[in-house]
Structure 1
Amino acid sequence: MTLSAAGFTFCLFVALALVGCQSTPSDRALMPGIAAAEQISPQDWKWSPDQECAPCHSIEAHTAAASACTDFSDASSSCLTCHNVEQELTVAHEDIRNVKPVSDLQQVTVEKEVCTRCHTIASLAERTADSVALADNNGVTINPHALLKTKGHSEIDCTACHTMHESSDRLETSSKMCRECHHADSFECESCH
């Protein structure tokens, strides 16, 4: 017996939907405010700001829990702490009743103001004053949260170095950002100009 293309597509669609919305294993830590939930029937579910995100977006919930951003994972934060766009989320979740498989989240721009609601630039600069993470080939160190006020530096935002939902080496990411302009691995402008 052979399945028609439509029958195969439907079966694949249902299988992916069931896999995508399985509950998260309880032995894996989730960020505060996010708990693994029981299987959710798409027909009975409607998105609201107080819904749990982890059942369908478990990868994001786990990466936030494992984030190097311990202020976030230790605080009583939730997905809406950063993704506070209720109308956009409502629209994005409207088709859940059509049993569509969970798609990848769209990358969103997180404005600096979202971060500075909880983290002031002054407090970050104070906490990283003795940091030697950003050092050039001459041994010059730069406080990553106290960059000189230049045109190039004003274009750098928090997400240039800090990511939430992907595994990355923050030092490597920030060093790469610096090397976009400091191409000779020197933080002293006069060494090139």
Structure 2
Amino acid sequence: NPVLWLSEGLDWVKSNKRYHPLYWRADKNEWKEFTLHGMLPLNLDLPVIHVSFYEADAFARWCDSRLPTEGEWENAALQQQIEGCFADNERFHPESARSDNISSPEILQLYGDAWEWTRSSYSAYPGYSPFKPNPEKPISYVWDEAIGEYNSRSMVNQYVLRGGSCLSPQERIRASFRNFLPAKTCWQVTGIRLARDP
């Protein structure tokens, strides 16, 4: 439905002929998904992954919901234990939600499994100041300090994702951990978290 899409997103869908998530394929009367284990029947209990910001936003509208802001996501995350499917588990694919071993059944799979799109543009936190290289330091110092997870040169035309994924090491995950990608990106285990207003 075209009214569900952002204008730029609808143009992207049409020009790329995207009618389903990146690795889904129709096979006779069933959907399959290309995984690290080859083509498998689509498991409807797993998180939907490899979707762009445009697809996530349109799906949220279709569900009469929206993507959370980065602040909303982080506020919810502060109340949760960091548990989920991470690279350390060596499964490298999201898992279905299991409420029997999750600390808060109200919010499932907040961490791990898939990076979750937010509707927030990637920008600096309050008080952030851009890195100023010291010409007297070796180039490795400049690389380590300037090209980290927080880089002002990347703060344009990108949206924030939160939560880490099944490819993220658990030791790096925290409530404030951010990823950022252009809206059309769908290759890095990108997924959806819905929010609703009361």
TM-score (norm 2): 0.24
Structure number with larger C-alpha Rg: 1
Between Structure 1 and Structure 2, the one with more helix by share is: 1
TM-score (norm 1): 0.24
